[in-house]
Amino acid sequence: MSETNTRMAPIVVDHPLVQHKLTRLRQASTSTAGFRRLTRELSLLLCYEATRDLPTEAVEIETPVESTTGRTLSGKKLCFISILRAGNGILDGMLDLVPAARVGHIGLYRDHDTLEAIEYYMKLPDDVAERDCIVVDPMLATGHSAAAAIDRVKAAGVTNIIFVCLLGAPEGMDYMAARHPDVKIVTCSIDRGLNEKGYIVPGLGDAGDRLFGTR
């Protein structure tokens, strides 16, 4: 996860299980409980891919049978940062995989007149600058919220950031590449685009509403 000026190609996880679960997730007939369960499972699998390049070091251990050399994580500790509110749906699966990770939250809304992202909530761990961060939001639509959240994470001193989403639109991918070319994006799919209401198509609808049963 190094700082560079060239665009980092997004990682689309095309594993058959991921694509199967994503298809179930997209279906309008999937219940709230099913949507939550699938989001949790997909988030764990996306986190697995997002953490693929974490550094490890050799350690000598004793198994019940003999001494051996194993490998354990050796780099910075992790922090997951959820973009409210739908990002919270991604946290459970990621914490299943990395239970010791710290968690931050960023809440943003769009000013109708200026179209600027206004922060209404931000709480990051005190030591966030010493951690590698994975910023999460299920949907990368225009990319404006993700880029604004990442602005704030960088302003807090974080240098290594990965962005994880369930789905992205090409518009969001391009915007992120322009604003944060050093940030790797890990997703299950890059969909066709955005419709006139700003929804990703074919997409899965409003991820927050489907996660929390608010519609």
Q: Output 38 or 98, the one with its CB closest to ligand URA.
A: 38
Stretch that binds ligand URA, among 29-37, 49-57, 69-77, 206-214 (CB under 6 A): 206-214
User: Between 57 and 86, how does the x/- string for binding to ligand URA read (CB under 6 A)?
Assistant: -----------------------------x
Q: Output 151 or 206, the one with its CB closest to ligand URA.
A: 206
Stretch that binds ligand URA, among 41-49, 63-71, 152-160, 195-203 (CB under 6 A): 195-203
Stretch that binds ligand URA, among 6-14, 25-33, 44-52, 202-210 (CB under 6 A): 202-210
Spatial contact of 124 and 157, defined as CB atoms under 8 Å apart: no
Q: Output 50 or 140, the one with its CB closest to ligand URA.
A: 140
Query: Of 178, 130, 126, 183, which Cα lies nearest the Cα of 158?
Result: 130
Instruction: Tell me how many helices (H) and strands (E) the chain has.
Output: 6, 14
Q: How many Cα atoms occupy the beta-carbon half-sphere of 112 within 13 Å?
A: 0
Question: φ, ψ for residue 160 (rounded to 5)?
Answer: -115, 110
User: Could you tell me the smallest distance in angstroms from the CB atom of residue 186 to ligand URA?
Assistant: 18
Characterize the bridge pairing of strands 117-123 and 67-73.
unpaired
Binding to ligand URA, residues 94-123 (CB under 6 A): none
The DSSP output letter for 7 is P
Taking the C-alpha atoms of residue 194 and residue 159, their distance in angstroms, rounded to an integer, is 30
Active site residue 110: yes
